[in-house]
Amino acid sequence: MTHVVETAVKVTATALRFGGSGAVYLTSALQRNARDAAVAAQHVTVSEMHYETHGRTLLGYEEGGHPRG
pLDDT for the residue numbered 25:
86
- Residue-wise pLDDT tens digits, 41-62: 887 677 777 778 878 888 888 7
CA–CA gap between residue 67 and residue 18 (Å, rounded): 48
Global pTM value: 0.62
CA–CA gap between residue 66 and residue 59 (Å, rounded): 10
CB neighbours of 15 closer than 8 A, spacing ≥ 6?
Answer: 23, 30, 33, 34
